[in-house]
């Protein structure tokens, strides 16, 4: 089928004919290695994830048995998964709000070129270059029962604060650490968006007597529309797959109360050797993530259109 699309070679003189053919070969040679590797290691696995989710693969057997929709049925009445889904959605919703409020707020504060602003941007951003695993271990050493903060509190005669040992506190702590470690990225992204806000509009509004808040609400924020969409979708997608930080900050505890879906997927797959079941969960996670990203983008676009009318 692809052959029919080749350039017509019938009338071409011999010298001009060898050149495109040699180029065609060179093109194929330059594209093939990347395409093959990408197909084998990324496209095939995506298809396999669907297939494996219909089997009882344990990670060892060469021929896993086909169980149809069995894994999906199990997943529907798995209380652990239901709890993990609720925790994950809470983290994603609250985390997205936190990341974007702080991201936009600080972007407005450090906007403009000055040495101090450069310093603040670096300081707000640096946790992002640390691995989430290290960030989690570090904060658990600070907020744990015998950690730095509780040492200070007890030496002043206070009670130990259950940052990581009470389920509700632990969830809030995790969201706070995720926001602490990540909002620097949102600051940088919003700063890039602020460069695109036309200065003349802001000045015109000022001259017309608008207050700072009115300028922000009616000029800056609408012009930032696309940035807001990118930031929200990005935060959601990232937070929905929270894993490393769970491992290092709480290890899913206390009593499994802070396990996220990604944590459960890897636990079921590699601790319980139920990779078929884990595949079913990751297929669901992938679909939910894609659907949420799609819905947010659509809602935001409708909102932006409404603003422009």
Partner 1 sequence: MRKTFLWLSAVFMLVPLYVLTVNAFKGQQEILADPFGLAGLTLEPLARALTNPQFNVVKGYAITLLFVVAVNVLSVVLAAPAAYVIARSPKRRFRVLMLFFLAGTFIPGQVLVIPVVYVLKTLGLMGTIRGFVLFETTLTLPFSIFLYAGYIATIPAVLDQAAAVDGAGRLRTFWQIVFPLMRPAVATMVILNTFSVWNDFVNPQIILGPGSGLYTVTTGVYAAVSQYATDYTVVFPTLLLAIAPLLVFFVFMQRHIISGLTAGATKG
Q: How many Å apart are CA 267 and CA 301, to the nearest integer?
A: 38
Residue 13, CA distances (Å) to 7, 16, 27, 226 in order: 13, 6, 22, 53
Question: Binding residue for partner 1 (CB under 8 A) from 34, 76, 207, 306?
Answer: 34
Q: Which is nearer to partner 1, 25 or 204 (CB)?
A: 25
Q: Which of residues 60-99 bind partner 1 (CB under 8 A)?
A: none
Compute the least distance from the CB of residue 48 to partner 1, in Å: 4
SS (H, E, C) 49-117: HHHHCCECCCCCCCCCCECCCHHHHHHHCCHHHHHHHHHHHHHHHHHHHHHHHHHHHHHHHCCCCCHHH
End-to-end Cα separation, the chain, in angstroms? 48
Question: Binding residue for partner 1 (CB under 8 A) from 59, 112, 158, 198?
Answer: 59
Contact stretch for partner 1 (CB under 8 A) within 24-32, 76-84, 194-202, 213-221: 24-32
Q: Which of residues 109-168 bind partner 1 (CB under 8 A)?
A: 109-110, 116, 119-134, 137-142, 144, 146-148, 151-152
Compute the least distance from the CB of residue 212 to partner 1, in Å: 12
Q: Which is nearer to partner 1, 45 or 200 (CB)?
A: 45
Question: Binding residue for partner 1 (CB under 8 A) from 9, 18, 21, 37?
Answer: 37
Structure tokens at 150: 């509780």
Instruction: Look at residues 67, 96, 137 and name the one whose alpha carbon lies nearest to residue 240.
Output: 96
Q: Which is nearer to partner 1, 171 or 269 (CB)?
A: 269
Contact stretch for partner 1 (CB under 8 A) within 46-54, 87-95, 166-174, 201-209: 46-54
Q: How many Å apart are CA 114 and CA 286, to the nearest integer?
A: 42
Q: Which is nearer to partner 1, 219 or 285 (CB)?
A: 285
Contact stretch for partner 1 (CB under 8 A) within 67-75, 90-98, 183-191, 216-224: 183-191
Question: Binding residue for partner 1 (CB under 8 A) from 22, 212, 217, 298?
Answer: 22
Q: Which is nearer to partner 1, 92 or 285 (CB)?
A: 285
C-alpha atoms less than 13 angstroms from C-alpha of 187 in its C-beta half-sphere: 26
Compute the least distance from the CB of residue 36 to partner 1, in Å: 9
> Cβ neighbours of residue 171 under 8 Å, at least 6 residues apart?
87, 90, 91, 257, 258
Q: Which of residues 209-248 bind partner 1 (CB under 8 A)?
A: 230, 233-234, 237, 241, 243-244, 247-248
Structure tokens at 6: 């080749």
**How many residues of this chain bind partner 1 (CB under 8 A)?**
89
Q: How many Å apart are CA 83 and CA 89, to the nearest integer?
A: 10
**DSSP secondary structure letter of residue 272:** S
Q: Is the dihedral of CA 302, 303, 304, 309 positive or negative?
A: positive
Q: Which of residues 251-290 bind partner 1 (CB under 8 A)?
A: 251, 262, 265-266, 269-270, 275, 278-279, 282-283, 285-286, 289-290
Q: Tell me the β-bridge partners of 55.
A: 66
Structure tokens at 47: 């298809």
Q: Which is nearer to partner 1, 57 or 163 (CB)?
A: 57
Compute the least distance from the CB of residue 156 to partner 1, in Å: 12
Contact stretch for partner 1 (CB under 8 A) within 51-59, 72-80, 81-89, 195-203: 51-59
Angle at the Cα of 268 from the Cα atoms of 262 and 270, rounded to 5 degrees: 95
């Amino acid at each position: 089928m692809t052959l029919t699309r080749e350039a017509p070679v019938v009338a071409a003189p011999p010298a001009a004919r060898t050149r495109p053919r040699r180029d065609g070969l060179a093109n194929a040679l330059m594209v093939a290695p990347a395409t093959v590797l990408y197909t084998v290691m990324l496209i095939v696995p995506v298809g396999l994830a669907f297939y494996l989710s219909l089997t009882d693969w344990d990670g060892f057997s060469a021929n896993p048995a086909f169980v149809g929709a069995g894994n999906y049925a199990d997943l529907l009445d798995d209380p652990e998964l239901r709890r993990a889904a609720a925790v994950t959605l809470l983290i994603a919703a609250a985390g997205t709000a936190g990341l974007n409020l702080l991201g936009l707020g600080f972007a407005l504060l450090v906007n403009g070129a000055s040495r101090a602003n450069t310093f603040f941007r670096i300081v707000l951003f640096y946790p992002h270059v640390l691995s989430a695993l290290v960030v989690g271990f570090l904060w658990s050493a600070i907020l744990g029962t015998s950690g730095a903060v509780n040492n200070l509190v007890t030496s002043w005669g206070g009670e130990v604060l259950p940052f990581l040992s009470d389920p509700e506190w632990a969830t809030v702590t995790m969201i706070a650490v995720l926001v602490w470690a990540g909002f620097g990225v949102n600051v940088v992204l919003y700063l890039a968006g602020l460069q695109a806000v036309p200065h003349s509009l802001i000045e015109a509004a000022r001259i017309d007597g608008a207050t700072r808040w009115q300028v922000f609400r009616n000029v800056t924020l609408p012009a930032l529309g696309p940035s807001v969409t990118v930031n929200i979708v990005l935060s959601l997608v990232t937070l929905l797959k929270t894993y490393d930080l769970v491992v290092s900050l709480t290890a899913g505890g206390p009593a499994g109360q802070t396990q996220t879906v990604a944590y459960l997927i890897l636990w079921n797959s590699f601790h319980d050797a139920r990779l078929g079941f884990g595949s079913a969960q990751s297929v669901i996670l992938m679909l939910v993530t894609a659907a949420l990203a799609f819905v947010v983008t659509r809602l935001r676009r409708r909102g932006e259109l409404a603003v422009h009318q």
